[in-house]
Copies of this chain bind each other. A is one copy, B any other.
Amino acid sequence: MRVGLIGLGTVGAALARQLIDGQEFLKHQTGGNPLTLAAVSARSQKPRPGLDLTGVPFVADPLAIARDPQIDLVVELVGGHDGIAKQVVEAALQAGKLVVTANKALLAHHGSDLLALASQQGKILAFEAAVAGAIPVIKVLHEGLAANRLHRVVGILNGTCNYLLTQMQAGAGSFDSVLAAAQQAGYAEADPSTDIDGHDSAHKLAILSALAFGHPMALQAVACCGIRAVTAQDITYAAELGYHIKLLAIAERGDDGLVRQRVQPCLLPRQHPLAGVDNVTNAVQLKANLAGQILLEGPGAGGDATASAVLADLVDIAVGRRQPISVASTQPSAVVADKPLEKLAGRCYWRLQVVDQPGVLAAVAAVLARHQISIESLLQRPSQANDLPDNRPDTQAFPNGNVPVVLVTHQALEPALQAAADELAKLPQLHQPPLRLRIEDNLA
């Protein structure tokens, strides 16, 4: 099988290294069908450390590889949901080639169309590497649990966010300082917005949900909130309540049959298996009717880890044990809720930054009462805030006159909670809109 590789970033270089240095091993693993790196394309032809591409043609135009009749399979590792990545995948499928990609953005935006195109061509578009790096979650969902009806998929799918939250939990500093350190260490991009605003998790969730429940990819129906507003102090308060804060990607089929997809920072009980998944590790918990709860955990990113997933696709295809995946573009077996939060109920954690003066709490309580939201507990009152010891993380972030009110509210519906939050944001006593995080007690 002659492979054309497009993209020589961290993953592309790791993959090329395996295809070259691991040639004999891979030939053994495919039962004798060699995987030959027959052409590469990348933005730059600069040398990559530890990678000797002597003898492998470098092709400046990636579309030339996608259309080259000598190439059987194209690996797309460019990234991005439009532009060259999309052109390459479409051109390769149209030319009747097999395609392997790690591009979650592309799949989340155009996956159903691209899978339909692959299906028309009788070719395979494989994407194990698009979600959760080295963890074979696509294979487990699509093949290992093939006889199951899925109830729920919960994932920690973004290593950057999980790293930042873990670091804050470990006391490494404020959001801004752990982000700067993560950027230094290569765990966060220079522009981290795709990760920390939740979009990357939303892309991956859209893919998992489509596979789990059998509906067309529906990125537009993922409620998405990132972790920018979460402070180290929130993590401390959550810990006092017995919770860890995690950015969770959740797709769940309700009693009404609708699938609800959401990405949100949540309070997860300390003893939940996902609560202990730290740093850049990813994890997915699958709840299914026969198999029960299955947890998968492993490296979510990195050159070798992601190359492992790309190679698994290549070996599967070379061995002949892969069929085109359909995500039900014609006969969907599930329908996605356009408004995933509308019927969601739950307890919530709230932090409000208020002016330190009498009557603040009364004003806040009045707004909540107006929306039928009852307060379960008050963790922090304005008048106590100044009593915090100096060594408490982030205390310094709340100087006099800007103190946190932290409380937990009982079960209430999201629309009421959101309306209350909007109204609270307008209170003159609030310095900024309230932070509200869902408490996920029912993911066991």
Contact = CB atoms under 8 A, between A and B. Distances in A.
Contacts of A295: 295-298
Contacts of A309: 291
A292 interface: yes
A126 to B, nearest CB: 12
B143 A139 contact: yes
Nearest to A297: B295
A122 interface: no
Nearest to A285: B297
A299 interface: yes
A151 to B, nearest CB: 13
Contacts of A29: 146-147
A346 interface: no
B288 A292 contact: no
Interface in A1-55: 14, 18, 22, 25-26, 28-29, 31
A177 B367 CA distance: 55
Interface stretch (A105-113, A315-323, A336-344): A315-323
Interface in A158-211: none
A144 interface: yes
A392 to B, nearest CB: 25
A309 B147 CA distance: 8
Nearest to A286: B298
A135 interface: yes
A304 interface: yes
B290 A308 contact: yes
Interface in A264-321: 273, 276, 288-299, 302, 304-305, 307-309, 311-312, 314-316, 319-321
Contacts of A311: 146-147, 290
Identical copies in the complex: 2
B147 A136 contact: no
Contact of A290 (B293, B307, B314): B307
A87 interface: no
A366 interface: no
Given A147-B308, A308-B148, A291 B140 contact: no
A332 to B, nearest CB: 12
Nearest to A296: B296
Contacts of A146: 29, 311-312, 315-316
Given A31-B323, A134-B292, A291-B305, A26 B143 contact: no
Nearest to A318: B146
A274 B14 CA distance: 30
A228 interface: no
A120 interface: no
A147 to B, nearest CB: 3
B147 A140 contact: no
Contacts of A307: 147, 290
Contacts of A319: 323
A18 B290 contact: yes
B139 A28 contact: no
Contacts of A298: 291-295
Contacts of A273: 276, 297
Interface in A203-258: none
A333 interface: yes
A145 interface: yes
A426 interface: no
13 contacts: A22-B147, A134-B292, A134-B294, A140-B140, A145-B308, A146-B311, A273-B276, A273-B297, A290-B311, A291-B308, A292-B298, A295-B296, A296-B297
Interface of A: 14, 18, 22, 25-26, 28-29, 31, 128, 134-136, 139-140, 143-149, 273, 276, 288-299, 302, 304-305, 307-309, 311-312, 314-316, 319-323, 333
Given A147-B312, A290-B304, 6 more contacts: A29-B147, A136-B145, A146-B311, A147-B311, A295-B295, A295-B297
